[in-house]
Amino acid sequence: MEPQHLRIAGDLMEKIDEGDYAPGAQLPTEEELMREWGTSRNTVRRALQELANRGRIDTKQGSGSTVRRYRPTLHLASPAPAGSDAERYEAYINRLREEEGKVPTERLEVGREPAAGVLAGLLKLDPDNPRAFVVIRRCDRVIGPQLWQRQESYYPGFIAEGTALELPTDIPGGTKDVIAALGYPQTGAWDVIGAKMPSLKDSARFGIGPGVPLLVHERVAYSGTTPIRFTRTTMPADRHKLFYAEGDIDPGVLRTITDVSVYER
């Protein structure tokens, strides 16, 4: 027989999923749940902890438990009409600034590292060649005190060395235009997206609560058969949703789905 705290948690989860308790709504108090289920305070607290561990509620001592409210960023996981991923992020943070007073910032770091391991294989660089290296552009997007998203792009040294890609400044036209001007127009790419539970360091870096995985989006772009960029975007799953488009999509679609959350129905 299923333990009682899991039955209580399952019942509350079903009511959250069906909309009986909307995002931001207060759950019944511990006393109310104890009376409803004829059980102990410890059992009720274990049930609520189960929901907190799954990232579905927030619990504060003395304030009770509320259904978590999600406001995810739209991350374009494929090329799409009506603007770039950066522009969609800009629109999102402008809304947060107006509604919640949160101040967004971006931190850009540029560096080099030797080509080694899986990265060398993806970019077809010889790890035994001491002159083989990659240029790294790391952009951290921060909202308030929290790291919201980290994007790291790696460029073969033979392409990036001595170019604007090595400068720690924003590139108005985008790095794709810089690479194309160097004789390597992007002709194709592949993507892999997965999820993993964060390490302790990741949890602290992103300010991740219990039960929240990280989404990791990896892309290798090519010019013909030459790999020209490997990009890894890391983002907490409760703050991002991925958008893929195929075919002739009206630009208004992006505006329509911006406020759609998989957590709300």
Say which residue the tokens 């494929």 belong to: 78
Q: Are 30 and 63 in contact (CB under 8 A)?
A: no
Rounded to 5°, the CA angle 9-10-16 comes to: 90
Between 89 and 191, the more confident residue is: 191
Q: What is the pTM of this model?
A: 0.75
Q: What is the pLDDT of residue 18?
A: 85
Burial of 67 (0-12, 13-18, 19+ CB in 10 A): buried
Mean pLDDT, residues 46-70: 83
The residue type found at 105 is: T
Which of 231, 223, 232 shows the shortest CA–CA distance to 158? 223
Q: Are 108 and 168 in contact (CB under 8 A)?
A: yes
Q: Name the pLDDT band for 260 (thresholds 50, 70, 90).
A: low
Q: What is the pLDDT of residue 93?
A: 63
Rounded to 5°, the CA angle 114-220-150 comes to: 75
Q: What value does the mean pLDDT of the chain take? A: 85
Q: Name the pLDDT band for 255 (thresholds 50, 70, 90).
A: low
Mean pLDDT, residues 37-49: 92
Q: What is the pLDDT of residue 263?
A: 57
Which of 211, 90, 235, 208 shows the shortest CA–CA distance to 150? 235
Q: What is the pLDDT of residue 218?
A: 95
Q: What is the pLDDT of residue 139?
A: 92
Q: Name the pLDDT band for 246 (thresholds 50, 70, 90).
A: confident
Q: Name the pLDDT band for 161 (thresholds 50, 70, 90).
A: very high
Between 65 and 249, the more confident residue is: 65
State pLDDT tens for residues 95-129. Answer: 666 656 667 788 999 999 999 999 999 999 999 98
Q: What is the pLDDT of residue 130?
A: 81
Burial 142-166, CB ≥16 within 10 A → b, else e: bbeeebbbbbbbbbbbebbeebebb
Separation of first and last alpha carbons in the chain: 31
Mean pLDDT, residues 137-141: 93
Q: What is the DSSP letter of 164?
A: G
Q: What is the pLDDT of residue 17?
A: 85
Q: What is the pLDDT of residue 202?
A: 92
Q: What is the pLDDT of residue 150?
A: 94
Strand ranges for the chain from DSSP E:
57-60, 64-67, 73-76, 104-114, 133-143, 146-156, 188-196, 214-223, 226-236, 240-243
- For 137, phi and psi rounded to 5 degrees? -115, 115
Phi and psi based region of residue 24 (left: phi greater than 0; alpha: psi -120 to 50; beta: remaining): left
Question: Which helix or strand (DSSP H or E) is residue 99 part of?
Answer: helix 85-100
Say if residue 256's pLDDT is above 80.
no
Distance CA 104, CA 169 (A): 17
Q: What is the pLDDT of residue 49?
A: 87
Instruction: List Cβ neighbours of 150 (8 Å cut-off, separation of 6 or more).
Output: 138, 139, 140, 141, 233, 234, 235
Q: What is the pLDDT of residue 229?
A: 96
Residue ranges and CATH numbers for the domains of the chain are 4-67 (1.10.10.10), 73-257 (3.40.1410.10)
